[in-house]
Amino acid sequence: MTDSDHTTRRTFLGLAGGAAASGLVPIVTVRTADATPAMLSSAIRNIVGEANVRTGKVKLDIPPLVENGNTVPMTVSVDSPMTADNYVKSIHVFNEKNPQPNIGNFYLRPGAGRAQVSTRIRLADSQKVTAIARLSDDTFWSVTADVVVTLAACTEEAI
């Protein structure tokens, strides 16, 4: 009895899983204008290659709630002494749901003194923003922040 129970449960789960997977396909095709999580991870892979990305060291200052997605202030700083043999080589910022997953790449030198970069970005939707830092020993560190956007960028009509 227990055996047949297991079978039905497994069959049911298998079917449900299959349905969920096929159910995803139309959603993806409808939202081709958005960067998908797959595009985000391939954009990150382009930068980090096969290396491990660890969480920590990086700080991302971005408002959690923004009214206007057309200009969102953002500051990325990395905990680094910025000496000749221990410094931040580059900082890469990515988003999840804009039409394109990249936001910017910033390349630093040990002489920077402080590993910190600020700029203003566009966000097309409420989403996650990820910053990844590459240190001089070629390790990668990341941080992710959630941002809620009231007025989306990119989608409005040009006049």
Binding positions for other proteins, rule: CB under 8 A: 33, 70-72, 95, 98-100, 102-109, 111-123, 153-159
Q: At its nearest, how many Å lie between other proteins and the CB of residue 159?
A: 8
- Work out the number of other CB atoms within 10 angstroms of the CB of residue 19: 10
Question: Is the separation of the CB atoms in 122 and 153 below 8 Å?
Answer: yes
Task: Determine the Cα–Cα distance for residues 147 and 127; give it in Å rounded to an integer.
Answer: 6
What secondary structure letter does DSSP report for 50? T
Angle at 93 between CA 48 and CA 121, to 5 degrees: 165
Nearer to other proteins, 102 or 139 (CB): 102
Q: At its nearest, how many Å lie between other proteins and the CB of residue 23?
A: 27
Q: At its nearest, how many Å lie between other proteins and the CB of residue 96?
A: 11
Nearer to other proteins, 108 or 143 (CB): 108
Place of tokens 């009214």: 67
Nearer to other proteins, 16 or 156 (CB): 156
Q: At its nearest, how many Å lie between other proteins and the CB of residue 45?
A: 17
